[in-house]
Amino acid sequence: MGTEIIRVENISFGYGRVNVLDNVSTSIIDGDFLGIVGPNGSGKSTLLRIFLGLIKPQKGTVRVFDTDIEKFDQWGKIGYIPQKATSFNQGFPATVEEVVSANLYPIVGLAGRIKKAHKEKVDEALRTVGMLEKKKSIIGRLSGGQQQRVFIAKALVSAPRVIFMDEPTVGIDRNSEESFYELMKSLNRERGITLVMVTHDIGAIDKRVNRVLCLSEGKLYEHDCAVSQASDIFKEAYGKRDSWTITHRH
């Protein structure tokens, strides 16, 4: 078993009286390609936001790289790819290069300057996602799939150990989705970057991830299974494949 990147223990979180997460414990292991699934409102995004330190659980502990999340300060190790469609103002006049550079800013430090070495990192990240030639384009004028590649480059530029993704394929076409998963696979296998993906679309990830966390009615169920067996286990647990997201029961 690899090192634990994130460990949550006995966390609970609720909005008002509704308990979204009820005494949940789990961990993200170095090298994982982890899918977090569950029906709408099951707490997937809440769990993701707790992992990222954007919200605090009302009970329980969160440790990131073996450090209490309150004291953790190396956020460059953690990348995040938001849901494309809602993540930014499409009229924002920034170039691809300006957007990707932004994730280096916390590393450069307050009042620090971007130097040549940083610019090379930006080029390298854009080359990895195949968007180097669009470096000077305004981000809002790119297609959905291209914008998503830019956001992957933005996450990659700070050399993260783990990348979190929130419904990353919403609003992009099938071809772009396919190449997105190809890129993710190579980042995971060749660069050893741990990936955590929240999605409602079990069908899209069952062949790709190596572990699945499934949220349902505040509880977390873990399917620690090899890729090839994932679909069989789901078939057994949830019945017909097309209706997984709806008939999801444990």
Residue 2: both structure tokens together: 């690899």
Binding status of residue 41 toward another protein by CB under 8 A: no
Binding window for another protein (CB under 8 A); candidates: 58-66, 100-108, 193-201, 233-241: 100-108
**Residue whose structure tokens are 């953790």:** 72
User: Alpha-carbon distance 97 to 133, whole Å?
Assistant: 10
Q: Does 82 bind another protein (CB under 8 A)?
A: yes
Shortest spacing between CB 60 and another protein, in angstroms? 21
Could you tell me the two tokens for 76? Answer: 């460059």
35 CB contacts (<8 Å, ≥6 apart)? 197, 198, 199, 202, 205, 206, 208, 209, 211, 212, 213
Is 114 one of the binding residues for another protein (CB under 8 A)? yes
Q: Write phi, then psi, for 11 (nearest 5 degrees).
A: -85, 140
If binding is defined by CB under 8 A, does position 117 make contact with another protein?
no
In the bound state with another protein, the residue whose beta carbon lies nearer, of 41 and 112, is: 112
Q: Distance between CA 116 and CA 68 in Å, rounded?
A: 34
Distance CA 7, CA 34 (A): 14
Decide whether 103 or 199 has the Cβ nearer to another protein. Answer: 103
Q: Which helix (H) or strand (E) holds 113?
A: none
CB of 152 to another protein, least distance (A): 14
Shortest Cβ distance from residue 115 to another protein (Å)?
12
Query: Whose CA is closest to 150, among 94, 76, 74?
Result: 94
Residues 124-153 interacting with another protein (rule: CB under 8 A): 136, 138
d(CA 105, CA 168): 24
Under the binding rule (CB under 8 A), the answer on residue 88 touching another protein is: yes
d(CA 198, CA 165): 6
Interface stretch with another protein, choices 90-98, 120-128, 181-189, 227-235 (CB under 8 A): 90-98
Under the criterion CB under 8 A, does residue 105 sit at the interface with another protein? yes
Residue 119 main-chain phi, psi, to 5 deg:
-65, -35
Shortest Å distance, C-beta 210 to another protein: 25
Q: Binding mask 155-194 vs another protein (x if CB under 8 A, - otherwise)?
A: ---x------------------------------------
Whole-number Å distance between alpha carbons of 82 and 123:
21
Give the shortest CB-113-to-another protein separation in angstroms. 9
95 versus 179: smaller Cβ distance to another protein: 95
Q: Determine if 52 is a binding residue for another protein (CB under 8 A).
A: yes
Question: Residue numbers of the site for another protein (CB under 8 A)?
Answer: 52-54, 73, 75-76, 78, 80, 82, 87-89, 91-95, 97-99, 102-103, 105-106, 108, 110-112, 114, 136, 138, 158
